Amino acid sequence: MSSFSIGVIFLALLSFVPSLCYGQNNPSKMHPEITYHGGPILNGTLNFALIWYGKCSVLKRTTMVNFLTSLNKEGDPDLNPKVTRWWQTIESYQTAVPGGGEAKAHHSNMKIIVNVTKQIDDTSYKYGRNLTIAGSIPKIVHEHIHDQPDLIPIIITAKDVVMEGLCSGKCADHGLIDNNKPYIILGNPEIECPGKCEWPFNDVDNGPKSIIFLRPPNQNKAADAMVIALATTLADMVTNPLNTGFYGGSEKAPLGAGSVCKAIFGSGAFPGNPGKVRIDPGTSGSFNAHGYQGDRFLLPAVWNPTTSSCWTLM
């Protein structure tokens, strides 16, 4: 199905520098610069275990899995831009790690392969409906994947489960269990905090009010907002898994490759306006990336280490 682009009213003093392959660089200096702090980043093959905590809808499950699968699978060659192009920017961090010529040349050809290796249903609410980072997360992970240390858990919560920090602006988070095992937890804003974590499909509780609202590409505000949060946190985790990799700001409150570019989805973005996106004429859903099965997603800007600026697909 064909689509068309919509723009926003641009401020006359703003200029945009195009980059290769459908992307745009936003040269705004409002964001702390992402720099390297000497530690490892993730690469190679990432095997994820999706832990569905609570009763999660089929639509949310399908949307999350399709996004993760689309990171490496391109699908229809005529549909651009693709989710794979967004992921290539995260893969490019391998070449930004200081090192010798041979190692850098090796890294420059490396893909970061994402596999959804296992899916686990945890509908018993055994650890309650208010999950805490220090208390609940280690218990959930140890119960479900204690014998598979190579799996990276992504805990995805149902709408009646509250993730610690969700209502203070963290729509997802990543951290470490047992000091070295990374994990992601993804909150569901549908009931608790649509005004915190469903923008640009919903107005915000605080901050600049939206000039334009977007319709979700998969026709569900919470599901599509959770894709945005997952993409942001995945970018942060891969480039800064131990809090010693790439980040900006302070060590105690680091801003990662995704979180530093918050609320930018296309060129021309400014507070209250997500920027240039496409509109599906059939559903009116807003998107900027195609998945491998023709799915459409709205993906956030990420920090481009080559240009030292926030980069978008459009």
As given in the structure block, the two tokens for residue 207 are: 């901050």
Amino acid making up residue 208: P
Amino acid making up residue 112: I
Q: Please name which of 244, 248, 262, 252 lies closest in space to residue 170, comparing C-alpha atoms.
A: 262
d(CA 187, CA 183): 13
* Ranges of each domain in the chain: 42-311
Residue 170: other Cβ atoms inside 10 A: 19
What does the pLDDT read at residue 29?
Answer: 47
d(CA 64, CA 48): 12
φ/ψ of 100, rounded to 5, equals -70, 165
Q: What would the pLDDT profile of 81-139 be if each residue is shown by its tens digit?
A: 999 999 999 999 999 998 744 445 444 458 999 999 999 999 999 999 999 988 999 99
Close Cβ partners of 241 (under 8 Å, ≥ 6 residues apart): 40, 41, 42, 174, 176, 182
What does the pLDDT read at residue 25?
Answer: 41
What does the pLDDT read at residue 109?
Answer: 58
Residues of the chain with pLDDT below 70 are 1-30, 100-109, 169, 207, 209-210
What does the pLDDT read at residue 18?
Answer: 26
pTM, to two decimals: 0.88
